Amino acid sequence: MKLNKSIHVIAICLVINTITGCSEWLDYTPKDQQIENQQFSSRQGFYAAVNGVYNRLTSTILYGENLTYGALDCMGKRYNTGTDNTRTAYLWAQYDYTNKSISANINYIWGNAYATILNVNVILKNLETRKNILSTKDYQVIKGDLLSLRAFLHLDMLRLFGPVYSRKADALAIPYNDSEDAKSYTILSAKDIIYNHLIPDLTEAEKTLKEADPVLTEGVLSSDSENGDNFLRYRQLRLNYYATVLLKARAYLWAGDKKNAAIEARKITDDPQIKSRFPFVNPDKLLGNTTDPDRAFSTEVLFGFYNTNKSNIYISTFDGANLSQNSLLQPRGNYIDLLYSKADYRYASLWTQYGEFYNLVKYKGISIDLKKPPFYTYLMPLIHLSEAYYIASEALIETDPGAAITYLNTILNARGLTQIAANTQASAVIEEIQKEYMREMIGEGQIFFMMKRFYLGMADIYNAESTNNVVASEARYVLPLPESEQTNR
Amino acid sequence: MQKKKKHKNGILLCCIVWLLFISVMPSSAAQNLNTMKVSLDLKEATVKEFFDAVKKQTNLNFIYNSELTKGLSRITIKSVNQPVRFVLDKVMQDTDCMYEIDGNIVTVTYQQNGKLRKLTGIVLDDENLGIPGVNIYIKNTKFHTITDMQGRYSIEIPTNECKVTFSYIGMKTQDILFKKGNENIKKDIKLVSDTKIDEVVVTGIVVKKKSSFTGSASSFSGEELKAAGVQNPIASLKSLDPSFNVLDNSAFGADPNHLPNIEIRGKSSMLGIRDELSEDPNQPLFILDGFESSLQAIYNLDINRIASMTILKDAASTAIYGSKAANGVVVVETVKPKTGQLRLSYNGSMDISFPDLTSYNLMNSREKLEFEKKFGKYSGKNASATDIVAWDDLYQKHLADINSGVDTYWLSEPLRTGLNHRHSMYVDGGSGGFMFGIGLNYNGVNGVMKKSDRQVYGGNLDLIYRLGKLQFTNKFTAQQTNYNNPTVPFSDYALASPYYKKYNEEGEIDKFLADNKFEGKIGNPLYNDALNSRDETNNLTLTDYFMAEYTPLKDLKIRARAGLTTSINENELFFSPEDTQFAEYNTLKKGLYTYKNVKQTRLEGEFTTTYATVLKDVHRINVSLGGNIWEQKSVLQGYSAQGFPSGDFAYPSFSNGYVEGGHPAYSESLSRSVSGYLIGGYSLKDRYLLDASYRLNGSSVFGSNKKFIGTWSVGLGWNLHNEQFIKNNLSFINYFKIRGSIGNPGNQNFSSSMSLTTFNYSFASYNYFGMGTVLTSLGNANLKWQTTLDKNIGLDLVLLDNRLNLNLDYYHKKTDPLLIAIGLPASSGVSSYNTNLGNQISKGFTGMVQYYLLRDFEKRLTWSLRGTVRIEKSKLGGIGDSLESLNDFGQTNKSVKRYYDGSDPDDIWAVRSAGIDPANGRELFIKKDGTYTYDFTNEDEVVVGNTRPKAEGTFGSNFSYKGFTIAATFRYRWGGKSFNNAVYEKVENISSKSISTFNQDKRALYERWQKAGDVAMFKNIIDASNTPMSSRFVQKENTLTLESFSVGYEFDPIFVRRLGVSGMRLNAYMNEIFRTSTIKQERGSSYPHARSVSFALSFTL
């Protein structure tokens, strides 16, 4: 009897074991890769995934070349790209989007940007389903950083592939990918993208970051912590609260929404703490310093990325002393003298003269103690504080010219330039702002977007390639969606 | 919600599995013996009262001698709803009465004193060998026994007249009447095979009588397979059954190390989804001795070890394999040791194979030079004056060489006559409850290309131990396979121009055939071949199958099995630093060594309970309840190294380091599955048949939300030959069955990783935050199983005194949804994604016919003709534009395959061509609207043919007289089309660059347009531009092959016995000896095809 009972107990145990075991036994976890469950089982895992996404920006297909000093600056006519029609830089500068090599590159840019967005979306999904793994602060910071990054990438795709907004705001532009599902997203109009997707994402990011971003309480924290846990430090390498707000201003301005652009930009320019958090570059440390100048103006950088390959960019692309004409990118002769005044800190720190030519030294390596290189050694800027002032100035010039000119003068002043007169005409102010973009954001890809926004022709000061006059045209400013986007719809 | 459902399925499945383990008690099954139940409560009743009471409840009529029963004692019994037999047994057991139930009549007989006598003997088969496991019983009584391993039996039977039944599956059941008597009886019984054609179907779990089976299956004995050829079982099966399709591989020809692609009844899956460690998703499932096996194992299996091979084609026959069965199943049973004294059998064979180069049509040296001249190679467009002179010098040099007799036939250089031999030996015997078999085999193949060989060494040990109603079987196999592949592909020789010399003036082999400014550097294949480059693979496979069977009752069998297969496959590929491919490499990077190691382990366990009985002689019932658990794990590891010193330093320790940017490779894949199944079969009077099954499957391959699936099948059959109206009126019909089945088998030849989202570390991007991980694949957790709705209708007919056999089958398979990798717009973040979408319909017809022209058993003379046919079609649907990227890929990568709704995946897509304009030698294309144009655009693509033949099959004849046999099998393919790549690449599309480097097809010289007015098949001879793919290169492919021809002689047993041998047989085979085709196309670009002649000897001691 007793034996019988124990057999029953054992049998029941076995049955229960099998039932629960069956389903689990079929769950397969490969050891050669990390699966989703493992990846997001810890705080470290979440931050590693966030780091992975931000690192994707470093790829030469994206901001490591094409979307900064490469394709975009070539299209923005920042360099003389020669006449060799097999050279990619030349082809970009000719806007030859049907060329095989260019269309392949366009395809890579597009594909990589959206693959990065998918990475973001997968993390965002897990962020919601595994909230309990993270503290509220971690949750909010990651969520804000990622929503903002998703908007950042979409905005750049919109600016590249979308219409010239002032002309065709309702034209179909790009899809907005906002879920981890592999599916076909509808192509939306530029207006739809900005107001129904980008701005809501950025508003949400701004809201969560405002509650948790250490940049608001402790500043940029651009140094290692003592315990080695840097997840909530180095805020300039993430789309922090300030970068997010400025990004929002950038998006409004792209849509010609000056009222909102001014509101967002002024959240930064008028922030009482901004001057201490992001102080203007100190000319004493910058000028005349040939060993370790901060050519990135890192203290003013609201958002940038970490690129260990930065000094190689100079060596392989801008080093006029050692490169053949076919690999070198430099503006046409005397152009720099045309654009900059000699007093400009940027003239002295970003360029070196080489006869009538100038080499861009923005990304040149510096002499450093390899054990403890300064933060700016590997920093490539993507969003500057100055842009807030430019946006505020541009957005207010019609409604509040006084304030507008003051904002612009703040930057001119910080660059060692003479201020413009308080009664300067609006058109002249705008022209000065445009020049400022060209002076300030060389090698960052923003100049092409600025020109597209104003639908500028490229001649004289706007053309560093040649003295030719390139008229504005949508065929040049609007990149065609790649084949890979149009098929399988 | 989803999670809950998943668990529910899991629980259900597990319950089924568990039920099997805990509920299988003999008594529970025995209760099914009789459906009639009685409830009685009798005290001191008379026999009559008892019988009446039973009759009242069951309608059974009792016939008995009332005189005799008078003396019986009074009956007291209480039963509540018990089977009538149980009650009768209980009442009768203490009496001298016994009863027999026939229909609703119970005959009660009285036996004297209840005495028993002993009946002993042995049950033998046709070959006078004892048959173990024969059921011996007296119907509807408790008298039952089974034979032991030697076929011996012993049973006690009543002393009055009784009928004893001897039955064994596959054999004709015999009833033997024993007259009244007291003495013990000794009686040997001989059972004969049940019917003439394929009596049983071995499904791997149950052995069923073919006549009561509704599925579509065909079985072939080891002897039949050997009659078609001895090279490998796959090749033999292809000749025997039309539904077993070994896809023609034009690239790998007779390469002994290239496994064929196999389909049973067309494809059930779309292309593309296949990773390095997984199998071809259209490949059938292979079952070896009841366990899942691999194509490689079957391909390597010694044909002499095979007892039978069965192809299960439709849903009803593959039901027990449920989720893995959509591509059909091949069940292989190996020989079992036989009882008796020690026997040794030997089978040996030797092949001679020689390359078949008839499909090649290459230029000789003079033709090549003439073509080059016409093509304009030596006229040097825009060439400087000095160059023009140099070009002419080159021409003169070639011409001088040709005049001196240089005309190298490069094709024959790497080839040889392959000499292969196989030996296999099997020793078996045993007595009492123990039997054993030990086998050793060797198969050495030397391919027709030098440095190409394959050696298989195998050993196996079979043990059977029987203890009462328990039987244990263990089969252990060890197999070592070593093979080498040539490092220089055959195509390199086919490309070399014939005006180059093999040897230079010193009689040495030059490194380069040409090394000059104009022709560039052309590596000499002979030079590369002479180096110490190598491509070696070693594989060790160990397999152990264990099975325990328990037969508590004659109708009930309980079986548990476990199998383990482990294999290690190592591949080393080394290219010497001297190889011409490294000519331009830095010294530190010359030479390449690649190592790859794949370990695979497969575990399987199964538990089955089978109950089979015949009720009242009319209801044949069988039920199997079982569960299966399975796991397969593969791990791949490897690395590559480069930078080797010249000389004999061919191992990785001599290398300079890893290949730049390379890192060690590691990948693993694991698949697991569990299933529980219930299969039932019922036949009424052997006329109306019903099979049904249900199986619940769980697998790790599919999405975490869709792990479980149920598969089912239903089959119906009608044995018309058992109907009176046929028996009475149409006596020329011997066998006539109509059957149909429907079911939804699945396919799980997919990689597990498709359902998983995975991440990987990116090492390059270490920063302040540490490392970063990036998404490597986006899995689809909702990925559903791919199942195929499989419908089959068929008939089996035997006519004219068993002279004419006919099998016809029509099938319709619809796979919906398909599991495919669809393209998505790039903004989705992925370029392709695995999902369930679209459907594919494959339908077709297979037929087999055999007719005996002569059949005289007395004179041992037979002559038969036979033929098979397969007609097949596939169609895609519901995919929309989701495979557009695949179509674009096809357009840019010179493929003629496209995937659209309503089209056949085997369609050839190309722009129609109106031929070459005689006026200018340019190709004229036909646009979609029918107008002509010179401008090619992919927009004008249409279907211009289909690669699948309209009909394919074999026909042949067998003749045998006394011990002498002769057989021939031809294969025909009719109505297919093929894109002729040889013409496309070697007649046109010859670029100015490749003209020097490569030899071309003769047609480039003779059949290309040269001057206005030429009516030519091919474009202007001097046109070096790229020719688009058009219908001009699509040709009809009708072929006829003599697939096998064999002659054999079985020595007179009396004669060989004098030599101390009990049987001896000699065979000669010729394979692929003759081939003719309407398409002239190079076959065997990487490895030539071969013809072979084999001789085989077998004897038994």
Question: Which residues on chain B are in Cβ contact (under 8 Å) with A19?
Answer: 10-11, 14-15, 18
Q: Would you call B836 an interface residue with chain A, using a CB distance cutoff of 8 Å?
A: no
What phi, psi does B281 have (nearest 5°)?
-65, -10
* The pair of three-digit structure tokens given for residue B715, joined into one six-digit string: 């089959």
Spatial separation of the C-alpha atoms in residues B878 and B271, rounded to whole Å: 16
Residues forming beta bridges with residue B762, ordered by sequence position = B772
- The pTM score is 0.76
Please report where in the chains the tokens 């990390």 appear, as a residue. A34
* The pair of three-digit structure tokens given for residue B1070, joined into one six-digit string: 């010729």
Which residue, B1066, B1057, B1061, B1053, is CA-closest to B1098?
B1066
**What Å distances lie between residue A233 and A228, A340, B302, CA to CA?**
10, 36, 68
* pLDDT for res A453: 95
Are the beta carbons of A197 and A154 closer than 8 angstroms? yes
* The pair of three-digit structure tokens given for residue B590, joined into one six-digit string: 């010359």
CA terminus-to-terminus distance, chain A = 70
Which residues of chain B register pLDDT less than 70?
A: 1-35, 65-73, 93-97, 103, 109-114, 126-128, 140-142, 169-170, 193-201, 204-206, 249-250, 270-279, 380-383, 661, 751-753, 763-764, 857-858
Which residue, B745, B948, B659, is CA-closest to B323?
B745
CB contact under 8 A, B759 and A486: no
**What Å distances lie between residue B443 and B519, B1071, B1094, CA to CA?**
45, 18, 13
Residues forming beta bridges with residue A384, ordered by sequence position = A301
Q: Is the pLDDT of residue A19 over 60?
A: no
Q: Is the pLDDT of residue A7 over 60?
A: no
**What Å distances lie between residue B1033 and A92, B890, B981, B1010, B1022, CA to CA?**
40, 16, 8, 19, 19
Please report where in the chains the tokens 């990651």 appear, as a residue. A142
Q: Would you call A409 an interface residue with chain B, using a CB distance cutoff of 8 Å?
A: no
- Here the ipTM equals 0.87
pLDDT digits (tens, 9 = 90+) for A363-394: 999 887 777 888 999 999 999 999 999 999 99
Largest CA distance in chain A: 107
Q: Would you call B770 an interface residue with chain A, using a CB distance cutoff of 8 Å?
A: yes
More confident residue, A66 or B257: A66
* pLDDT for res A473: 92
Q: Would you call A287 an interface residue with chain B, using a CB distance cutoff of 8 Å?
A: no
* pLDDT for res B53: 80
Please report where in the chains the tokens 């890893």 appear, as a residue. B658
Spatial separation of the C-alpha atoms in residues B625 and B679, rounded to whole Å: 6
Closest Cα in chain A to B672: A26
Q: Three-class SS string for chain A? A: CHHHHHHHHHHHHHHHHHHHHHHHHCCCCCCCCEEHHHHCCCHHHHHHHHHHHHHHCCCCCCCCCCCCCCHHHHHCCCCECCCCCCCHHHHHHCCCCCCHHHHHHHHHHHHHHHHHHHHHHHHHHHHHHCHHHCCHHHHHHHHHHHHHHHHHHHHHHHHHHCCCCCCCCCCEEEECCCCCCCCCCCEEEHHHHHHHHHHHHHHHHHHHHHHHCHHHCCCCCCCCCCCCCCCCCCHHHCCCHHHHHHHHHHHHHHCCCHHHHHHHHHHHHCCCCHHHHCCCCCHHHHCCCCCCCCCCCHHHEEEEEECCCHHHHHHHHHCCCCCCCCCCCECCCCHHHHHCCCCCHHHHHHEEEECCEEEECCCCCCCCCCCCCCHHHHEEEEEECHHHHHHHHHHHCCCCHHHHHHHHHHHHHHCCCCCCCCCCCHHHHHHHHHHHHHHHCCCCCHHHHHHHHHCCCECHHHCCCCCCCECCCHHHHCCCCCHHHHCCC
Which residues have CB under 8 Å from B824's CB, separation 6+? A182, A183, A184, A488, B830, B831, B832, B833
In angstroms, what separates the C-alpha of A37 from chain B's closest C-alpha? 9
Amino acid B216 reads S
In this complex, the residue of A31, A39, A180 whose CB is nearest that of residue B668 is A31
Closest Cα in chain B to A109: B826
Q: Would you call A485 an interface residue with chain B, using a CB distance cutoff of 8 Å?
A: yes
Question: Which residues on chain B are in Cβ contact (under 8 Å) with A184?
Answer: 824-825, 828
Q: Would you call A41 an interface residue with chain B, using a CB distance cutoff of 8 Å?
A: no
Query: Which residue in B773, B776, B831, B899 has the most chain A C-beta atoms within 10 A of its own C-beta, making it the best mutation to test that interface?
Result: B773
ω into A175 cis (within 30 of 0): no
In this complex, the residue of B13, B757, B831 whose CB is nearest that of residue A484 is B831
In angstroms, what separates the C-alpha of A120 from chain B's closest C-alpha? 10
* pLDDT for res B360: 84
For chain A, give the percent of residues with pLDDT over 70: 94
Spatial separation of the C-alpha atoms in residues A281 and A225, rounded to whole Å: 24
pLDDT digits (tens, 9 = 90+) for B111-164: 555 677 888 888 887 666 777 778 888 876 667 788 877 788 888 887 777 788
In angstroms, what separates the C-alpha of A478 from chain B's closest C-alpha? 17
Question: Per-residue pLDDT averaged across A194-211, rounded?
Answer: 96
Question: Per-residue pLDDT averaged across A155-168, rounded?
Answer: 95
* pLDDT for res B35: 65
Query: Which residue in B702, B704, B757, B775 has the most chain A C-beta atoms within 10 A of its own C-beta, making it the best mutation to test that interface?
Result: B775
Q: Would you call B76 an interface residue with chain A, using a CB distance cutoff of 8 Å?
A: no
Which residue, B880, B694, B556, B478, is CA-closest to B16?
B694
CB contact under 8 A, A110 and B826: yes
Q: Would you call A117 an interface residue with chain B, using a CB distance cutoff of 8 Å?
A: yes
* pLDDT for res B170: 66
Q: Would you call B24 an interface residue with chain A, using a CB distance cutoff of 8 Å?
A: no
* pLDDT for res B15: 47
Return the H-helix or E-strand segment holding B713. Answer: strand B708-719
Our separate counts of H helices and E strands in chain B read 19, 56
Question: Which residues on chain A are in Cβ contact (under 8 Å) with B757?
Answer: 35-36, 122
CB contact under 8 A, A49 and B759: yes
* pLDDT for res A333: 87
Q: Three-class SS string for B476-498? A: EEEEEEEEECCCCCHHHHHHCCC
The SS3 assignment for B915 reads: strand
* The pair of three-digit structure tokens given for residue A387, joined into one six-digit string: 């842009």
In angstroms, what separates the C-alpha of B607 from chain A's closest C-alpha? 15
pLDDT digits (tens, 9 = 90+) for A81-95: 988 888 899 999 999
Residues forming beta bridges with residue B743, ordered by sequence position = B713, B790
> Which chain B residues in 876-895 lie under 8 Å from chain A, judged by CB atoms?
881-882, 884-885, 888
pLDDT digits (tens, 9 = 90+) for A104-143: 999 999 999 999 999 999 999 999 999 899 999 999 999 9
* pLDDT for res A12: 58
Amino acid A270 reads D
Are the beta carbons of A473 and A458 closer than 8 angstroms? no
What phi, psi does B113 have (nearest 5°)?
55, 10
Closest Cα in chain A to B767: A306
Spatial separation of the C-alpha atoms in residues A229 and B768, rounded to whole Å: 9
Q: What is the average pLDDT value for chain A, to the nearest integer?
A: 90
Amino acid B1061 reads V
* pLDDT for res B323: 79
Which residue, B657, B623, B849, B667, is CA-closest to B760?
B667
